[in-house]
Structure 1
Amino acid sequence: MAKEEKKAPKLRFNGYTNDWERKKLGIYVPITMGQSPNSKNYTNNPRDNILVQGNADLYNNRVLKRTFTTEVTKIADRNDILIISVRAPVGDIARNQYESVVIGRGIASIKGNDFLYYQLEKMNNSGFWKKYIAGSTFESITGKDLKSSDIYISNHKEEKSIGDIFQTLTKTIQLHEDHLQFLHSFKSFLLQKMFFDNDVPPLLRFNKFTEKWNQCRLNDHAIVTMGQSPNSKNYTNNQTDKILVQGNADLYKNKVLKRVFTTEITKTAVKNDILISVRAPVGDIARNQYESVVIGRGIASIKGNDFLYYQLEKMKNSGFWNKYIAGSTFESITGKDLKNAKIYTTNSDEERKIGNIFSSLTKIIQLQEHKIDSLKKLKQFLLQNMFI
């Protein structure tokens, strides 16, 4: 017996009980497959036509002004849905916010409402397009595949209600992301102004602190331990063994990732030690949140307060380590370079106040990131359950 076709989503607004209807996308709405202009007609002149060719021309579900053309082949109008049809990631979508853009062969445009837009987002998230691109050496979906794709429609009122809730949720996420970007920019500004910058004293200080800061070598101010890798035969997947931190891949959002384990203990870092990568990307830092971890040769540990932690973050952001790695075929810094690195210190009260403000700001950023993650998870849940 054939499986009965699902006729309605799991989650609906009150008052809607009608079955949804299956349609072919190309029959339900007009679709235009892109056609690339001749490359000799590409320009850098913003007064020419905006050219959208693929993922590089889209950002945050909007069109980026990146490339322009004097040749008009196929176009998409304002509010058309743009979907990537050629080259990974196939199925990603955006809204065209301009009056008109030229679309190249990596893009198709679809005329549709918010209900259709978010249904296409749900289809992409669910791996809908994989059946068309499986086994292909050049990831793409054809115009025929796109136009013959099954979608589901309801009555106008329900479609509008669903489109509105996702549009509101998307705008809320965007506002929170904008605020997060502001917080990151504000933190970068404070890092630049509250620490020495190229031997220039800090421009921004708390009241009552006027004394001169002292310059010293990192190793004179804090204990630095260079990592030593265990023998790879002692690596394990057993979480009861020691956590091994070998490099940047074992750090995430300034914390240690439990990724690789080892039965051999070489060099260790204890809780709250500062971990710094000494291989590409050099200078990334994290706080060790575990009682003890083994550190490999791509990592060094430093015992230091929050003031030192954020000074090291500022040094990384300012490209401090570039002078040590320039010309190297394998991006890294030596133990000598790290220990001799020039830092600045002040009295404990000022260090504590500076450390506290950055620690508080970092926690606010983490809370904002958590809020955005929660909103995105809610959106994914609703996409999964409010569409067929």
Structure 2
Amino acid sequence: MGKPEIRFKGYTDEWEQRKLGELVKEGILEAPLDGNHGEKHPTSDEYVESGIPFLMASDIHNGEVNIYSCKYITKERAERLDKGFARNGDVLLTHKATIGETAILSNLMTEYAMLTPQVTYYRIKNEERLNREYLYSFFNSLDFQTELKTKAAQSTRPYIGITAQQNLKIILPTEIDEQRKIGLYFGNLDRLITLHQRKCDEVKSLKKYMLQKMFPQNEQKVPEIRFEGFTEAWEQRKLGDLVDRVTRKNQDLVSELPLTISAQYGLIDQNEFFDKRVASKDVSGYYLIENGEFAYNKSTSTDAPWGAIKRLDRYENGVLSTLYIVFGIKENNPVDSDFLVSYYSTNLWHKGIHEIAAEGARNHGLLNIAPADFFETKLMIPQDIEEQKKIGKYFEELERLITLHQQKCEELKKIKKFMLQKMFV
């Protein structure tokens, strides 16, 4: 059958091709394709708060089963369904709607579960012939995913029937030890990806919580949580007293790097964010923004209902459309730059923008806000610059941790994608 491009040392035998149905027994809750599931499929009024998990295709994603968001049915109702339970150790595969999502049902999730008709469980017939973790890894391989989606596309609606699943090709090493090593390798990669993703989510949740607690809320003058040694009330300041508007044009073409503002990534190269250039070829009439300066994008989105204000950190300089409002902190440093970054990560400034936005301002998602009015907006800041610096540094460190875990996640996903192509025939 052939050999993979990359394999573990000591293995030289040709791999073999088998039909999936020869190596596993599968279970699927039978149901008509027209969606009328009749007596065999639980209805919404049969779901209970706890009992037997009833897993939907949407509960399986990126190798994990989200047992916490799934529905539950009673044991009695489950026992009346045709195909029995998916049990601990079964490999799950979605074959309708979200085709190709796969996971291993484990004790960490649940000992057993019922499955929607969109999901099949596969149980190994002979564990000396086929390794469970290898099967899961093979289901993720490029060739298998391609075959799966090709067969699904041949149906009148995206769907892989049970007979077609049994006839799917599985290509595997003849030695079970080589299968185990491959399964273990990809299992470790998945654990590392999950670890960094969870760490990232934890730090994001902490940041969201602390942004609410470390800034005064509801017209208060002190925050709920603050650093030790600071007791003075915060003061209200006008933005225009703290910053200067920047209107320098890029006349000498100091920079030809067109930027955009993303609520998630901040000021970023248009080519990287949109995968194309949106700016005009001639950027001499654009604003030239320098590292450390801020810009306000008046475009609204789901993530940024009143636009986004970000500082340029990634590049030495760049150019922005004159639709943006650009500003920098005054020379006498009346406010800490990192504090200002964290302040504009809260939603406290939305109220001021809401008050100055003209009636009917959302023209194609662009708020009609005059620069003069923007700089009249007020913000609440600590009187002591040292308290500002501590707050700014704290949130900068949280953001650094988020970025670190995101980068590790992306690196590991790239490694996994590459190895899934190279370690299978």
TM category, shorter: 0.7 to 0.9
Question: Structure 2 CA distance, aligned partners of 1:216 and 1:125?
Answer: 61
Residues 338, 393 of structure 2: 8 Å contact kept: yes
- Distance in 1 between the 2:157 and 2:214 partners? 50
Q: RMSD of aligned C-alpha atoms?
A: 3.3
CA distance in 1, matches of 2:113, 2:353: 41
- Counterpart AA for 2:158: E
Structure 2 contact 133–187 (Cα < 8 Å) conserved: yes
Give, in whole Å, the separation in 1 of the partners of 2:28 and 2:244.
62
What is the Cα deviation at residue 345 of structure 1? 2.0
Structure 1 residues 220 and 266, CA, compared in 2 at 3 Å: closer, same or farther?
same
Deviation at 1:140, TM superposition (A): 2.4
Counterpart position of 2:86: 76
Q: Which amino acid aligns with 2:181?
A: S
Does structure 1 conserve the Cα–Cα contact (< 8 Å) formed by 2:257 and 2:269?
Answer: no
Q: Deviations over 1:115-173 (max 9, x none)?
A: 10011012478633232234666322222332211111222221112212222222222
Give matches, 1:274-293, under 5 Å. Answer: 274-278=294-298, 279-280=300-301, 281-282=304-305, 283-288=307-312, 289-290=314-315, 291-293=317-319
Cα distance in 1 between the residues matched to 2:243 and 2:230: 23
Amino acid at match of 1:31: E
Verify the 8 A CA contact 1:268 1:293 in the aligned structure 2. yes
Q: Counterpart of 1:139 in 2: which secondary structure? A: coil
Aligned residues: 364
Residue 81 of structure 1, CA deviation: 1.5
Give the partner amino acid of 2:122.
Answer: I
Q: Secondary structure at the match of 1:83?
A: strand
Equivalent in the alignment of 2:18:
23
CA shift, 1:18, in A, is 1.8
Matched, 1:85 2:119: no
Specify the alignment match of 1:198 in structure 2: 218
What amino acid sits opposite 2:24 in the alignment? V
Query: Which residue matches 2:320?
Result: 294
Partner of 2:339 in structure 1? 307
Asked if the contact 1:43–1:67 (Cα under 8 Å) also holds between the matched residues in 2, the reply is no
Q: Could you tell me how far apart the structure 1 residues matched to 2:56 and 2:402 are?
A: 35
**Alignment of 1:99 onto 2:118:** no
1:353 deviates by 2.6
Q: C-alpha distance in 2, partners of 1:156/1:385?
A: 19
Aligned AA for 2:213? K
Matching of residue 122 in structure 1 with residue 130 in structure 2:
no
Residues 1-388 of structure 1 aligned to structure 2 (within 5 Å): 5-6=1-2, 8-35=3-30, 37-40=40-43, 42-56=45-59, 58=61, 61-64=64-67, 65-70=69-74, 71-72=77-78, 73=81, 74=83, 75-87=85-97, 89-96=98-105, 97-112=109-124, 113-123=132-142, 127-134=146-153, 138-154=157-173, 155-200=175-220, 201-223=222-244, 243=258, 245=260, 248=262, 253-259=265-271, 260=277, 261-262=279-280, 263=282, 265-267=285-287, 269-278=289-298, 279-280=300-301, 281-282=304-305, 283-288=307-312, 289-290=314-315, 291-295=317-321, 297=323, 299-304=324-329, 305-315=337-347, 333-335=367-369, 338-346=374-382, 347-388=384-425
Q: TM-score, normalised by structure 1?
A: 0.80
Q: 2 CA distance for matches of 1:359 and 1:311?
A: 12
> How far apart are the structure 1 equivalents of 2:165 and 2:380?
60
Instruction: Tell me which amino acid in the other structure corresponds to 2:227.
Output: F
CA distance in structure 2 between the aligned counterparts of 1:327 and 1:84, rounded to whole angstroms? 46
Q: TM-score, normalised by structure 2?
A: 0.74
Q: Helix, strand or coil: the match of 1:34?
A: coil
On the 8 A contact 1:91/1:124 being kept in 2, the answer is: no
Distance across 2 between alignment mates of 1:244 and 1:101: 49
**Following the alignment from structure 1 to structure 2, what is the Cα–Cα distance between the partners of residues 354 and 382?**
42
Distance in 2, matches of 1:342 and 1:102, equals: 56
Question: d(CA) in 1 for partners of 2:338 and 2:170?
Answer: 54
Amino acid across the alignment from 1:104:
T
Tell me the residue number matched to 1:235.
none
Q: What displacement does 1:59 show?
A: 6.7
Partner Cα separation in structure 2 for residue 123 and residue 372 of structure 1 = 20
Relative to structure 1, the CA distance from residue 135 to residue 31 in structure 2 (aligned partners, 3 Å threshold; closer, same or farther) is: closer
Distance (Å, rounded) in 2 between the aligned partners of 1:198 and 1:331: 28
Secondary structure, aligned partner of 1:197: coil
> Per the alignment, do residues 341 and 77 of structure 1 end up closer, same or farther by CA in structure 2, a change over 3 Å counting?
farther
Shift of 1:29: 0.8
Instruction: Identify unmatched segments of 5+ residues in structure 2.
Output: 31-36, 125-131, 248-254, 272-276, 330-336
Counterpart amino acid of residue 215 in structure 1: Q
Q: 1:34–1:109: 8 Å Cα contact kept in structure 2?
A: no
Is contact 1:209–1:350 with CA below 8 Å preserved after alignment?
yes
2: CA distance, partners of 1:110 / 1:120: 11
**CA shift at 1:22, angstroms?**
0.5
Q: Which amino acid aligns with 2:387?
A: E
Q: Whole-Å Cα distance in 1 between the matches of residues 399 and 244 of structure 2? A: 24
